[in-house]
Amino acid sequence: MSQKEPFLFKSYERIIGIAHDVNELKNELERLSKIDPNAVNYHIKEKHIAMWLYYIGENDLAKKFENVKDINQALSLLNEEKRSVHEQTPLKENTTIEQSKPESQQKPKRRGGKKKKLQ
C-alpha cells in the first residue's frame, strides 16, 4: 500500500505546516490560526484542503469543506466531526470502557492468579 502525500500548508513557497491525517489537519489549523491565518484562509478559499481530503479518502468531510469560508468555520467543522465520530463509535461486545481507551491510558493489567501447588 502506498503512503498518501501529506497536506503542505505554504506561505509563498515556504512550508509552514504539514498534515498527514485529519487529526493533524485540525492541530495545524489551530496552530496556524495564531501564526498565519491568511495563508490558511487562502488554502481554504482555493479548496486545496477539500481536494486533499478527497485524495486521502475523507469524501464526506471533503464535501463539507467545499463550503467552508474561513479558518474559524474549518475548525468548527473539524471539532464537530471529531465529536460525532467519537459519539458514533460503539464498543465491541464484551468490551469495557477501560479497554476502549488507548493502551497508554489504561490501568496496568494484573498478572497472575491462583498459584499452582507444587507436588
Cell reading at 92:
465491541
pTM above 0.75, yes or no: no
Q: Is the pLDDT of residue 30 over 80?
A: yes
pLDDT reported for residue 3: 85
The residues near 39 (Cβ < 8 Å, ≥ 6 apart) are 9, 10, 11, 16, 32
Query: For residue range 45-72, what is the model confidence (pLDDT) as tens digits?
Result: 999 999 999 999 999 999 999 999 999 9
Alpha helices (H) in the chain, listed in sequence order: 22-35, 37-45, 48-55, 59-65, 71-88, 97-100
Cell reading at 6:
501529506
